[in-house]
Structure 1
């Protein structure tokens, strides 16, 4: 097997003079800031469980009009209920303004889709943010692009797929600004949070920072060293606690298998209901004994870190959200991305003249790649599978995550050919790539298709010479988006790939319009498949 580090060389595109690569800051526990649920306690719980607002995220994003202590003292004194509670909240908090979705394009058939996407970037762009006192928003020094709708802040993995479109539309300024924002987040917090809110700081999302850097302008040697230091510090976040693990143990995001090999899992530092989905998490845990609820809430949070919130991938019984077991799984997508990160760090260290650093990360990538190709490969099913790390058994769910080892170059050629056959037979729908084949009502299951997974699949298949299968996925997805746009004048976050042009469904909130990563991936695929 030839290990593919070539793509990782994109991480540093500057001809820097040979110099030792900077060591990252020593590994530390990430900073976790108090969230609105921490600060307002009984008031927060009362507001969310009373369902004062249709979206649990509304109160999480509210900004207090006065000191939190004074608000809580007034709440304890007044004990408002029903309509009085709503009046109390409106008197003491400024609720977030949710921008109206971009208006449908009149005569969408006459307005080219590419032109519509280009016109959406200014609508979704936000200026540098200085967080108001008491706000859950995290400050950002540069402009950025949000997904749209209820997603008022930047999200980690969403942003990479959005940036694909920005780059094609000549918005290198915004790509560079967003990479700078993510670099500063790592420098401040030790990792990139799920999104730029205090309540997201306890977890991250699929680690694609190294891919973002590959899209940005390279700059000078000093900038290259700074980005490399940030990437090494992010790697430390994912590997924190690994050195002390014995076989069969886990710490935070890292697990040591029975044979001593290291892999990673999704995890969250908290075991309470999510601020942004508080009522939903309380309802999911309602049937469980009180002592079991914290465990369930951590599993739900870990599922949110995966980006696949939620999917039959994480469910022990394949259907019920209460059976979620995210932390028991070493996912193939996460470990493939970490392989890519390690390869990128090795390439960056080599370019900056630090041979010891390059050798260290190259060895880590080689070990992880070997584990993926052996432990996560299901030869009979022709797929890469998630791994139940305690038992070493593979989970039964066939999902679009099977394509990540192709995307990052970790698969061997025979595995890639087998995956392509499986994808053609079982995962391609009328409107693009299926997420899974299970129709559970969860949004990361059938019949939904998602823009980022289309991109991962197309790029992975093309990498291994499976051009026809890649084209089939890309052109069906483009037809789906085009049909939806022609019918409604809008783009949405997910689509039903069994019925071309129809928005997806399921999940904890209504389908959002906008939409950052749909715009980005669609624009990039239009470049790759102009006909």
Structure 2
């Protein structure tokens, strides 16, 4: 039906949006009944919060046309429809002429000019970016030399925070597309991209998934690592290394559309990342125990954090030096106050940020000394994935940099890691894996969702899997899904951490579901997936389609105010793309549910006032 968009929108909001949020939610006190009149006199009666929110979205997104069937969609179909038609597109970026200013925008660090860093070795990219920025004098292109980057260069870069270029496709005369997490995160993130890609592939978004994978490979090639994100202030750190699992999943899904030479190129980059980044004993490898750690090569306070983020720790050192917190921060950043203890704290804090778990009590002030269960599970998966790719596609061996790589060689690497993990991370008494502090030479007996990642990686026996599920899952599984950690002791001082209890995040859910299914825990997998998905579906039904960054899984609520707030929780009319990996978790989670569970979730639409 055809409607007057402006008039319908005005009347609908005036009647039903009683709190003035430009959304229709269970918190509004309207009559929850609205009649739309079309231009030809036909009418559509809409009742209930959920369907009224659907109506608001359809009116806002449309150009005067309204499809009643879209308004009447049940929640699971509606979520899938919005992701396919709106969310992925809204979160997509491309550094072309029409979008370059928007992609450069950064809420986390502002500067007088817009800086775009382009690898000096990428001559085609340099020519392209110079061409499209010529009309924008506020944009300054800076040529970046090949890594490693000196401390002096990093100090210069720190004064000019900017965007790092991604891959330019000369044949198409356009940069490759990518998907951002959403909200204040207006750039491509490392481990987010893997989980987002799982959602994209579930929706057969081939070009976007391929673009992100190739952009990740570009980062490893020109910036030395898969970056935390493609901003200049992230040049010193990576994130949990999911590039190889991403490559394996993508190629196995789309092998018929890609030549073997494409796989060979990317497999070589995967091997380079493994050897040069993660097996580097100067940064990421505890050579004496053959296990890995997270580590950031930068120094001092990470400046992309929000104002006041480090006040708790800075006030302790400010008191020591007899200055205010503000002066302590300024003088420390300027090098006027030197303190080895604070230096050490930021070494650990930066390493924790590379872990992606920024921040958590589990890793606070110990991360750089820790062989983490999650990282070593991912490394084992990298080794077994590379072995399997070589066995399946290069059975005669894969030659790279003068070395003949075979499946047996990579299986041997995996076996060595398996043995080290069993020796240092497995706790027989507790029936679980724990992080290992290599400096203190002791396990950190901390209950965390990350302890279960060996299930996803295949890094444990069936007996160990059964003991882990028994000892860990029951403590972590809450009404709204798997919490990041067990409850934190009241004796631990400091600010509340967003990667601690009672908060839950999409990547933990996705990996643990896969792990549970891998080891035959179907009932537990259905239970865990349903807990998470029902919480999100309830939020979308009650709060105008909302899909944010994280949840309080104990309360089953998106209403959280911890550390950086909750990205994606505030919007007008229709969610601005939701949040990348949360979107993916809903699509993947729905696929893990029984028909009965799905029917129960769809029934929420009609049980909401």
- TM exceeding 0.5: yes
Over 3 Å counting, the alpha-carbon distance change for 1:193 and 1:424 in structure 2 is closer
* Alignment partner of 1:344 is 2:385: yes
How far does residue 282 in structure 1 lie from its aligned partner after superposition?
Answer: 5.2
1:139-218 to 2 correspondence within 5 Å? Answer: 139-141=165-167, 142-216=176-250, 217-218=254-255
* SS in structure 1 of the partner of residue 389 of structure 2: helix
Deviation readout 1:97-136 (Å, 9 max, x if unpaired): xxxxx99858798552222322211111111356342561
- Structure 1 residues 504 and 419, CA, compared in 2 at 3 Å: closer, same or farther? farther
Residues 19-58 of structure 1 aligned to structure 2 (within 5 Å): none
Is 1:262 paired with 2:290?
A: yes
Indicate yes or no: 2:427 matched with 1:383: no
1:495 aligns with 2:551: yes
Deviates more, 1:431-440 or 1:477-486: 431-440
2-structure distance, mates of 1:428, 1:272: 37
The equivalent of 1:230 in structure 2 is 269
Task: Provide, for residues 389-442 of structure 1, a one-character-per-residue CA deviation record: whole Å limited to 9, x for no partner.
Answer: 133311021000011111000111111001111234211101111110134610
> 1:415 corresponds to which residue?
464
Unaligned runs of 5+ in 2: 1-53, 59-70, 101-115, 117-138, 142-160, 168-175, 321-337, 399-403, 489-494, 570-577, 596-609
Q: CA RMSD for the aligned pairs?
A: 2.3
Equivalent in the alignment of 1:114: 80
For normalisation by structure 2, the TM-score amounts to: 0.64
From 286, 306, 310, give the equivalent of 2:359: 310
> Are 1:397 and 2:453 counterparts?
no
CA separation of 1:108/1:200 partners in 2, compared to 1, >3 Å: closer, same or farther?
A: farther
Moved more, 269-278 or 444-453: 269-278
Show the counterpart of 2:502: 447
Question: Is 1:133 aligned to residue 174 of structure 2?
Answer: no
Q: Which runs of no fewer than 5 residues in structure 1 stay unpaired? A: 1-101, 243-250, 316-323
Residue 430 of structure 1 corresponds to: 479
Distance 1:418 1:240, change over 3 A: closer
Q: How many residues align?
A: 411
Q: Which residue of 2 aligns with 1:123?
A: 90
Report the Cα offset of residue 275 of structure 1. 2.5
- Choose which of 524, 546, 551 in structure 2 pairs with 1:469: 524
Q: Distance in 1 between matches of 2:453 and 2:437?
A: 18
1:253 and 2:279 correspond: no
| Per-residue deviation, 1:379 | 2.2
For residue 508 of structure 1, report the CA deviation from its aligned partner: 3.4
Instruction: Give the match for residue 511 of structure 2.
Output: 456
SS of 2:291's partner is strand
The one-character-per-residue Cα deviations of 1:259-296 (angstroms, maximum 9, x if unpaired) are xx311111100112112117446533342364122221
The answer on whether the counterparts of 2:550 and 2:566 sit within 8 Å (CA) in structure 1 is no
Secondary structure of residue in 2 paired with 1:387? strand
2:397 matched to 1:354?
yes
Query: What SS does the aligned partner of 1:137 have?
Result: strand
Alpha-carbon distance between aligned partners in 1 of 2:246 and 2:72, rounded to the nearest angstrom:
31
Q: Deviations over 1:172-227 (max 9, x none)?
A: 11111111111111111221110010111100000101121133233111101101
Structure with the greater relative contact order (CA < 8 A, sep ≥ 6): 1 or 2?
1
Q: Which moved more, 1:281-290 or 1:395-404?
A: 281-290
Contact 2:373 2:450 in 1 (8 A): yes
Displacement of 1:510: 4.3
What CA distance in whole angstroms lies between the structure 2 residues aligned with 1:278 and 1:202? Answer: 19
Q: Tell me the CA shift for residue 496 of structure 1.
A: 0.9
Contact 1:436 1:446 in 2 (8 A): yes
SS in 2 for 1:394: strand
Contact 1:448 1:494 (C-alpha < 8 Å) held by counterparts: yes
Q: Secondary structure at the match of 1:215?
A: helix
**Distance 1:458-1:505 versus aligned 2 partners, 3 A rule:** farther
- Tell which structure's C-alpha radius of gyration is larger: 2
Paired with 1:199 and 1:104, the residues of 2 have a C-alpha distance of 40
Pairing 1:285–2:314 present: yes
Checking the alignment, whether the CA contact within 8 Å between 1:503 and 1:511 is kept in structure 2 is no
